[in-house]
Protein backbone atom coordinates (compact mmCIF):
# COMPACT_ATOMS: atom_id res chain seq x y z
CA UNK A 1 0.00 0.00 0.00
CA UNK A 2 1.15 3.53 -0.47
CA UNK A 3 -0.08 7.07 -0.45
CA UNK A 4 0.71 10.10 -2.55
CA UNK A 5 -0.56 13.58 -3.11
CA UNK A 6 1.32 16.39 -4.84
CA UNK A 7 0.03 18.95 -2.40
CA UNK A 8 0.76 18.34 1.28
CA UNK A 9 -1.83 17.86 4.02
CA UNK A 10 -4.20 15.80 1.90
CA UNK A 11 -4.47 13.08 4.50
CA UNK A 12 -1.80 10.57 3.50
CA UNK A 13 -0.55 10.03 7.05
CA UNK A 14 -4.12 9.85 8.31
CA UNK A 15 -5.00 7.09 5.86
CA UNK A 16 -1.72 5.19 6.41
CA UNK A 17 -1.87 5.29 10.21
CA UNK A 18 -5.54 4.28 10.44
CA UNK A 19 -4.98 1.34 8.13
CA UNK A 20 -1.82 0.31 10.00
CA UNK A 21 -3.34 0.47 13.47
CA UNK A 22 -6.34 -1.62 12.46
CA UNK A 23 -4.43 -4.18 10.35
CA UNK A 24 -1.87 -4.70 13.12
CA UNK A 25 -4.65 -6.02 15.39
CA UNK A 26 -4.93 -9.11 13.18
CA UNK A 27 -1.92 -9.32 10.86
CA UNK A 28 1.86 -9.01 10.90
CA UNK A 29 2.04 -5.38 9.80
CA UNK A 30 4.89 -2.90 9.41
CA UNK A 31 4.48 0.82 8.81
CA UNK A 32 7.20 2.44 6.68
CA UNK A 33 7.60 6.20 6.89
CA UNK A 34 8.72 7.42 3.45
CA UNK A 35 8.27 11.08 4.37
CA UNK A 36 11.44 11.95 6.26
CA UNK A 37 12.45 14.23 7.87
CA UNK A 38 8.82 15.13 8.60
CA UNK A 39 8.17 11.70 10.06
CA UNK A 40 4.44 11.93 10.86
CA UNK A 41 4.00 8.17 10.68
CA UNK A 42 7.05 7.64 12.87
CA UNK A 43 5.73 10.08 15.49
CA UNK A 44 2.29 8.46 15.43
CA UNK A 45 3.86 5.02 15.90
CA UNK A 46 5.98 6.27 18.84
CA UNK A 47 2.86 7.67 20.52
CA UNK A 48 0.99 4.44 19.86
CA UNK A 49 3.76 2.30 21.29
CA UNK A 50 3.55 4.31 24.55
CA UNK A 51 0.13 2.84 25.31
CA UNK A 52 -0.07 -0.15 22.97
CA UNK A 53 3.46 -1.58 22.52
CA UNK A 54 4.44 -3.83 19.65
CA UNK A 55 3.79 -1.85 16.47
CA UNK A 56 6.67 -2.21 14.03
CA UNK A 57 7.76 0.91 12.21
CA UNK A 58 10.66 1.71 9.87
CA UNK A 59 11.84 4.87 8.19
CA UNK A 60 13.48 5.30 4.79
CA UNK A 61 15.34 8.36 3.55
CA UNK A 62 15.22 7.67 -0.18
CA UNK A 63 13.83 5.29 -2.79
CA UNK A 64 16.85 2.95 -2.64
CA UNK A 65 16.35 2.47 1.09
CA UNK A 66 12.68 1.85 0.45
CA UNK A 67 13.36 -0.90 -2.08
CA UNK A 68 15.88 -2.57 0.28
CA UNK A 69 13.55 -2.30 3.27
CA UNK A 70 10.59 -3.77 1.39
CA UNK A 71 12.77 -6.67 0.16
CA UNK A 72 13.96 -7.34 3.71
CA UNK A 73 10.53 -7.20 5.36
CA UNK A 74 8.35 -8.83 2.71
CA UNK A 75 9.07 -12.49 3.58
CA UNK A 76 7.68 -12.30 7.14
CA UNK A 77 5.14 -9.52 6.88
CA UNK A 78 1.51 -9.79 5.86
CA UNK A 79 0.98 -6.08 5.25
CA UNK A 80 3.47 -3.29 4.61
CA UNK A 81 1.91 0.16 4.81
CA UNK A 82 3.87 3.04 3.27
CA UNK A 83 3.25 6.66 4.21
CA UNK A 84 4.36 8.67 1.17
CA UNK A 85 5.83 12.14 0.78
CA UNK A 86 4.05 15.08 -0.87
CA UNK A 87 6.56 15.84 -3.58
CA UNK A 88 9.55 13.54 -4.11
CA UNK A 89 9.05 12.12 -7.58
CA UNK A 90 11.56 9.28 -7.22
CA UNK A 91 10.12 8.05 -3.94
CA UNK A 92 6.62 8.27 -5.34
CA UNK A 93 7.55 6.35 -8.48
CA UNK A 94 9.12 3.64 -6.30
CA UNK A 95 5.98 3.44 -4.15
CA UNK A 96 3.76 3.17 -7.23
CA UNK A 97 5.87 0.30 -8.56
CA UNK A 98 6.28 -1.56 -5.25
CA UNK A 99 2.79 -1.30 -3.80
CA UNK A 100 0.01 -3.77 -4.56
CA UNK A 101 -2.46 -0.96 -3.85
CA UNK A 102 -1.83 2.81 -3.85
CA UNK A 103 -4.30 5.14 -2.18
CA UNK A 104 -4.26 8.75 -3.29
CA UNK A 105 -5.97 10.88 -0.65
CA UNK A 106 -7.72 13.95 -1.85
CA UNK A 107 -9.40 16.53 0.34
CA UNK A 108 -12.48 18.28 -0.94
CA UNK A 109 -11.00 21.40 -2.53
CA UNK A 110 -10.81 22.13 -6.28
CA UNK A 111 -7.17 23.30 -5.99
CA UNK A 112 -6.16 19.90 -4.71
CA UNK A 113 -7.84 18.13 -7.57
CA UNK A 114 -5.78 20.09 -10.07
CA UNK A 115 -2.55 19.68 -8.11
CA UNK A 116 -3.07 15.96 -8.08
CA UNK A 117 -3.15 15.79 -11.86
CA UNK A 118 0.70 15.98 -11.81
CA UNK A 119 0.53 12.52 -10.36
CA UNK A 120 -0.84 11.21 -13.62
CA UNK A 121 2.59 11.48 -15.25
CA UNK A 122 4.19 9.50 -12.43
CA UNK A 123 1.52 6.83 -12.69
CA UNK A 124 2.10 6.60 -16.45
CA UNK A 125 5.87 6.20 -15.83
CA UNK A 126 5.32 3.49 -13.23
CA UNK A 127 2.92 1.65 -15.51
CA UNK A 128 5.83 0.98 -17.88
CA UNK A 129 7.37 -1.14 -15.11
CA UNK A 130 4.31 -2.70 -13.51
CA UNK A 131 0.54 -2.48 -13.67
CA UNK A 132 -0.31 0.19 -11.11
CA UNK A 133 -3.28 -0.49 -8.86
CA UNK A 134 -4.28 2.95 -7.55
CA UNK A 135 -7.47 4.48 -6.15
CA UNK A 136 -8.44 7.91 -4.98
CA UNK A 137 -9.74 8.25 -1.45
CA UNK A 138 -11.78 11.23 -0.39
CA UNK A 139 -10.73 12.64 2.96
CA UNK A 140 -12.55 15.57 4.60
CA UNK A 141 -15.52 14.47 2.56
CA UNK A 142 -18.87 16.20 2.83
CA UNK A 143 -21.44 13.91 1.28
CA UNK A 144 -24.31 15.01 -0.91
CA UNK A 145 -23.00 18.43 -1.84
CA UNK A 146 -23.03 19.25 -5.54
CA UNK A 147 -19.42 20.35 -5.19
CA UNK A 148 -18.33 16.98 -3.83
CA UNK A 149 -20.09 15.11 -6.61
CA UNK A 150 -18.67 17.35 -9.36
CA UNK A 151 -15.21 17.13 -7.85
CA UNK A 152 -15.35 13.35 -7.78
CA UNK A 153 -15.96 13.26 -11.50
CA UNK A 154 -13.26 15.90 -12.19
CA UNK A 155 -10.69 14.11 -10.07
CA UNK A 156 -11.42 10.74 -11.56
CA UNK A 157 -11.06 12.19 -15.05
CA UNK A 158 -7.94 14.23 -14.25
CA UNK A 159 -6.12 11.20 -12.88
CA UNK A 160 -7.71 8.33 -14.69
CA UNK A 161 -8.32 6.77 -11.27
CA UNK A 162 -11.52 5.67 -9.63
CA UNK A 163 -12.29 6.44 -6.00
CA UNK A 164 -12.79 3.95 -3.20
CA UNK A 165 -16.40 3.52 -2.14
CA UNK A 166 -15.29 4.44 1.36
CA UNK A 167 -14.89 8.15 2.09
CA UNK A 168 -13.56 9.74 5.27
CA UNK A 169 -15.67 12.62 6.54
CA UNK A 170 -14.35 15.89 7.89
CA UNK A 171 -14.12 14.89 11.57
CA UNK A 172 -12.17 16.00 14.61
CA UNK A 173 -11.69 12.29 15.39
CA UNK A 174 -9.08 11.99 12.60
CA UNK A 175 -6.96 14.86 13.89
CA UNK A 176 -7.34 13.64 17.48
CA UNK A 177 -6.36 10.08 16.60
CA UNK A 178 -3.24 11.20 14.68
CA UNK A 179 -2.11 13.22 17.70
CA UNK A 180 -2.68 10.35 20.14
CA UNK A 181 -1.19 7.39 18.33
CA UNK A 182 -4.66 5.96 17.81
CA UNK A 183 -6.90 5.08 14.92
CA UNK A 184 -10.12 7.02 14.51
CA UNK A 185 -11.93 3.79 15.43
CA UNK A 186 -10.31 4.08 18.86
CA UNK A 187 -11.59 7.56 19.74
CA UNK A 188 -15.21 8.22 20.59
CA UNK A 189 -16.83 8.89 17.25
CA UNK A 190 -19.13 6.22 15.89
CA UNK A 191 -19.14 7.69 12.35
CA UNK A 192 -15.35 7.68 12.16
CA UNK A 193 -15.35 4.14 13.51
CA UNK A 194 -17.70 3.00 10.74
CA UNK A 195 -15.57 4.74 8.12
CA UNK A 196 -12.35 3.17 9.33
CA UNK A 197 -13.96 -0.28 9.42
CA UNK A 198 -15.30 0.20 5.89
CA UNK A 199 -11.87 1.38 4.72
CA UNK A 200 -10.23 -1.73 6.15
CA UNK A 201 -12.66 -4.11 4.58
CA UNK A 202 -12.49 -2.40 1.18
CA UNK A 203 -8.69 -2.30 1.20
CA UNK A 204 -8.23 -5.91 2.29
CA UNK A 205 -10.79 -7.01 -0.32
CA UNK A 206 -8.96 -5.12 -3.09
CA UNK A 207 -5.64 -6.64 -2.01
CA UNK A 208 -7.08 -10.15 -1.88
CA UNK A 209 -8.31 -9.78 -5.47
CA UNK A 210 -4.99 -8.42 -6.65
N1 LIG B 1 -10.88 13.49 7.44
C2 LIG B 1 -10.29 14.43 8.19
N3 LIG B 1 -11.00 15.20 9.02
C4 LIG B 1 -10.40 16.15 9.78
N5 LIG B 1 -9.06 16.38 9.78
C6 LIG B 1 -8.30 15.64 8.97
C7 LIG B 1 -8.85 14.63 8.13
N8 LIG B 1 -7.83 14.06 7.44
C9 LIG B 1 -6.70 14.67 7.84
N10 LIG B 1 -6.98 15.64 8.76
C11 LIG B 1 -6.02 16.52 9.43
O12 LIG B 1 -5.34 17.29 8.44
C13 LIG B 1 -3.96 17.39 8.72
C14 LIG B 1 -3.16 16.78 7.58
O15 LIG B 1 -3.43 15.38 7.51
P16 LIG B 1 -2.26 14.35 7.26
O17 LIG B 1 -1.10 14.64 8.14
O18 LIG B 1 -2.86 13.01 7.28
O19 LIG B 1 -1.93 14.76 5.77
P20 LIG B 1 -0.63 14.46 4.90
O21 LIG B 1 -1.10 14.37 3.49
O22 LIG B 1 0.09 13.28 5.45
O23 LIG B 1 0.18 15.79 5.12
P24 LIG B 1 1.76 16.09 5.11
O25 LIG B 1 2.02 16.78 3.83
O26 LIG B 1 1.92 16.99 6.29
O27 LIG B 1 2.47 14.77 5.25
C28 LIG B 1 -3.75 16.66 10.04
O29 LIG B 1 -3.76 17.57 11.09
C30 LIG B 1 -4.93 15.72 10.12
O31 LIG B 1 -5.27 15.40 11.44
MG1 LIG C 1 2.03 13.00 6.04
pLDDT tens readout for residues 183-193: 999 999 999 99
- For the beta carbon of residue 111, count every other beta carbon within 10 angstroms: 9
For the chain, the maximum distance between any two Cα atoms, rounded to a whole number of angstroms, is 46
Cβ(142) to ligand 1 under 6 A? no
Which residue minimizes the CA distance to atom 15 of ligand 1? 11
Q: Model's pTM, two decimal places?
A: 0.93
Mean pLDDT in residue range 131-157: 80
pLDDT one-digit tens code per residue, 101-132 = 999 998 866 666 666 657 888 898 999 999 99
pLDDT of 121 reads 86
Cβ(8) to ligand 1 under 6 A? yes
How far apart are the CA of 179 and the centre of ligand 1, in A? 10
> Is 148:141 a contact under the CB 8 Å cutoff?
yes
Amino acid sequence: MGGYQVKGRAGRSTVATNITGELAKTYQTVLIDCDMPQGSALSWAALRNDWHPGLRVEKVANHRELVATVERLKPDTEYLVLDGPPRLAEMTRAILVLADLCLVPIGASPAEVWATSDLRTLIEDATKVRRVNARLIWTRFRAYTTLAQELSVDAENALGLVALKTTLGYRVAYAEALGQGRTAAEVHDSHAKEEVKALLSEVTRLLAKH
